[in-house]
């Protein structure tokens, strides 16, 4: 199944193509390995019938989820399977139990619009899981430096790097409550400094959970307003106080209705 991609600009498509290639690099694979380790701790506690993965790369990230029906939404029109524009998802309202958004909001021009669309498709009490790059980190500082050079269009530094607090505000406006925020990767974005073990399995990332990690995973649950019964308000009136009798009077061939109060 394919969906119309006219709402995505060419710059967004180029950015997504660049980040897909970056995740195949040594640094990108390290980040992906760390993010999978984080999701392996978070996804087993989220239940339901349907999970949808929206990612800027091709790897499966939802293996740890106990949900049976899992769908991967491709953003690349050259891929087979279900391909969709994230601003026009082929899902009914309230139909997804868990929506996993992997760096999608970092590499599109309308992150709020896409988040609103995913929220629409998420069931009440369902979850949105968002993986993103943290601007309040070493990687965020490096991005600021790179964007003043000729490398500013190279992934991942051409991404938005949305601040976690801002993202939480957007979720709150969409009737989501934040369940958890997990941070990881505290080392600089240099491959030889990262090592072979993913950062989340390292003690600092897992025990301290400092909000200056370069990668975050936010888990939010959709809440709906409670339904309150409305009781009718009865006004006390004197019995027959406003009762009226109706009589008709013929006048010039017409019938006129008059009311006489009792």
What DSSP string describes 197-237? S-GGGSHHHHHT--TT-SEEEEEEEE--PPP---PPPPPP-
Alpha-helical runs (H) found in 43-163: 111-121, 138-146
Stated as kind and residue range, the H or E segment containing 22 is: helix 10-22
Per-residue pLDDT, 90: 87
CATH annotation of 10-222: 3.40.50.150
The residues spanned by each domain of the chain are 10-222
Query: Measured on CA atoms in the order 138, 143, 189, 61, is the torsion positive or negative?
Result: positive
- With a CB cutoff of 8 Å and minimum separation 6, the contacts of 251 are none
104: left (phi over 0), alpha (psi -120 to 50) or beta: alpha
| Residue 98 β-bridge partners | 51, 127
Query: CA-CA distance, 60 to 125, in Å (whole number)?
Result: 24
Q: How many CB atoms lie within 10 A of CB 235?
A: 4
142 C-beta neighbours (distance < 10 Å), count: 15
pLDDT digits (tens, 9 = 90+) for 194-212: 777 788 876 667 778 999 9
**pTM above the 0.85 mark?**
no
Q: Say how far apart CA 188 and CA 139 lie, in whole Å.
A: 6
For Cα atoms 65, 68, 72, give the angle at the middle one, nearest 5 degrees.
75
Query: CA 101 → CA 39, 68, 80, 88, distances in Å?
Result: 12, 18, 20, 15
pLDDT at 81 over 80: no
Q: Are 51 and 97 in contact (CB under 8 A)?
A: yes
Lowest-pLDDT range of 51-55, 176-180, 217-221, 256-260: 256-260
Among 2-6, 164-168, 228-232, name the most confident range.
164-168
Q: What is the pLDDT of residues 99-146, one digit of tens each?
A: 999 999 999 889 999 999 999 999 999 999 999 999 999 999 999 999
């Amino acid at each position: 199944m394919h969906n119309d991609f006219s709402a995505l600009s060419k710059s967004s498509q180029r950015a997504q193509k660049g980040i897909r290639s970056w995740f195949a690099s040594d640094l990108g694979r390290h980040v992906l390995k760390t993010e999978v380790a984080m999701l392996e701790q978070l996804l087993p506690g989220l239940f339901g019938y349907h999970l949808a993965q929206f990612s800027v790369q091709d790897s499966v990230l939802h293996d740890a989820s106990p949900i049976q029906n899992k769908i991967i939404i491709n953003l690349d029109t050259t891929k087979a399977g279900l391909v969709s524009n994230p601003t026009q998802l082929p899902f009914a309202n309230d139909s997804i139990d868990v929506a996993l958004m992997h760096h999608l909001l970092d590499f599109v021009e309308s992150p709020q619009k896409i988040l609103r669309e995913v929220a629409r498709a998420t069931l009440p009490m369902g979850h949105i899981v968002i993986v993103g790059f943290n601007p309040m980190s070493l990687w965020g500082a490096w991005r600021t430096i790179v964007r003043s050079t000729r490398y500013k269009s190279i992934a991942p530094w051409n991404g938005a790097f949305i601040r976690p607090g801002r993202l939480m505000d957007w979720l709150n406006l969409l009737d989501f409550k934040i369940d958890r925020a997990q941070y990881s990767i505290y080392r600089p974005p240099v491959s030889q400094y990262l090592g072979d073990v993913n950062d989340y399995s390292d003690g600092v990332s897992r025990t301290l959970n400092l909000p200056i990690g370069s990668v975050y995973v936010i888990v939010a649950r959709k809440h709906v307003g409670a339904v309150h019964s409305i009781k009718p308000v009865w006004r006390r009136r004197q019995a027959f106080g406003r009762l009226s009798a109706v009589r008709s009077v013929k006048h010039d061939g017409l019938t006129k209705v008059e009311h006489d109060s009792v």
